[in-house]
Amino acid sequence: METRHWRPFGLLFLFLVLHILNQVDRNLIASFGPEIVADLNLSRTQFSIVSGLAFTAPYALTALAAGILADKYGRTRVMAAGLATWSVFTALSGVARSFWTLAAMRPFVATGEATLVPTATALLSEKFTVDRRATAIGVFFMGLPLGVGASFFIAGQLGPVLGWRTVFIVLGLIGVGLSAIVLTLRDSDAKTPGTQAQPPRSSRAILLDLAQEMRTNSDFRLSLAGAVLMHVYLAGNPFVKIWLVEERGYRGDEIASTYGLAVIVFGLLGAAFGGVASDWYARRYAGGRAMFLALFVAVLSPFIIAFRFADPGSLLFYAGMGAGILFFSAFYGPAFAVLQSVTPQRLHASATGLSMLLVNVLALGLGGLAIGMVSDALTKLGSDFALTGPLFVADLLALLTIPCFAIIGRRAQLAK
């Protein structure tokens, strides 16, 4: 098949489509949470494993490996192989008949999905100029709210008609078809042995370089810590539908469509605003994107806290829901631009891979497992709010991302 160069905006659109599919496939477990729990007779701890740790641990390891391979050999072939892998195993997840069979599929879905962010963000960082980098990455990360929202919307609209199993199979087949398109991409910076005078660096050399950067670059460490802390909030995302149904009194299909639409609307606003506004702020004010991010999350924090306790259906309840969606959707553009700006270009994909490793193991994996286990324990004690408590603690931990980026921004101010 003939390969070709893609213009930056065409490449961005393709990556956005892939990111939407990536997030839809990842979040189908959460969007069909009550149905899957009932069909497979899962406890909340088991559900936290299939929605969290069984996915996030292999995702984390593959993200770092994908980043290293991308910096070593190029990005597009890694991306195409990953897309085909996650799509095939998403389809196979639709035939799972027990906790164990579903849990066995999730690592393969994760392994494929983990290739997208390191490869795509590295390519976008090179295709777009520095002053447009956060905007481009922000547009790419519109795929997160669009995908999450679409997964809930699909569950609400197609779930009652097709059932969760058929939805998994259909979406998996769509991804297999898209992998053929990715194979048409040409990575102009691809590095393969024998194609240039200097051989690519070894994986060990890249890891040692990354470790040295971790030791000597405190802004790099703070950006990683801020990313991990924000994702503690997202560790509760697989439980959102269960929480809204069982503790807030909503009907499953009704709230799936409502929440899905909210994620799409507020998520798009957040992703667009986070990228464009942080680029604008960085051009005009000292502290750059890091300080913008800290200030923005600080403004949202009262509404995020109020969400867990406001009366369902009240204005404050929906304002809190919207604030939480804005929090994670606006985060990625400026946060990944900060990460790229505080690391050398030779480590861009590897640094992103390391970020995804830490996020998925510490926040999404162990954080999600902790929420499930604490919720099961509180349920056994007879609590009517067995999910509200651990979800609220996760919210508070996530807001500690504010000082991480504020320190980076303050250092930038003092340096000028």
- Per-residue pLDDT tens over the stretch 118-134: 788 777 877 777 667 77
Say what the pLDDT of residue 294 is.
95
Q: What is the pLDDT of residues 328-344, one digit of tens each?
A: 889 988 898 898 888 88
Token pair 């926040």: residue: 363
Most confident of the ranges 114-118, 174-178, 390-394: 390-394
Q: Is the pLDDT of residue 4 over 60?
A: no
Return d(Cα 349, Cα 139) in angstroms, integer. 18
Contacts of 31 (CB under 8 A, 6+ apart): 151, 152, 154, 155, 159, 241, 256, 260
pLDDT surpasses 90 at 80: no
Gap between the Cα atoms of 282 and 278, Å rounded? 6
Would you say 355 and 224 are in contact if contact means Cβ atoms under 8 Å apart?
Answer: yes
Q: Quick check: 167 pLDDT over 80?
A: yes
- 200 pLDDT more than 70: no
Of 242 and 169, the one with more pLDDT: 169
How many C-beta atoms lie closer than 10 Å to residue 344's C-beta? 11
Ordered by where they begin, the domains of the chain are: 8-193+200-415 (1.20.1250.20)
Greatest mean pLDDT range, 8-17, 337-346, 358-367, 383-392: 383-392
The whole-number pLDDT of residue 259 equals 82
pLDDT of residue 194: 42
pLDDT given at position 71: 66
pLDDT tens-digit map of 204-238: 787 888 889 889 999 999 999 999 999 999 988 88
pLDDT for residue 83:
92
Q: pLDDT band at 6, cuts 50/70/90?
A: low
Separation of alpha carbons 11 and 13, rounded Å? 5
Mean pLDDT value across the chain: 84
d(CA 201, CA 411) in angstroms, rounded, equals 32
Determine the Cα–Cα distance for residues 89 and 216; give it in Å rounded to an integer.
40
Structure tokens that stand for 319 in this block: 């304002």
The number of helix segments (H) and strand segments (E) in the chain equals: 21, 0
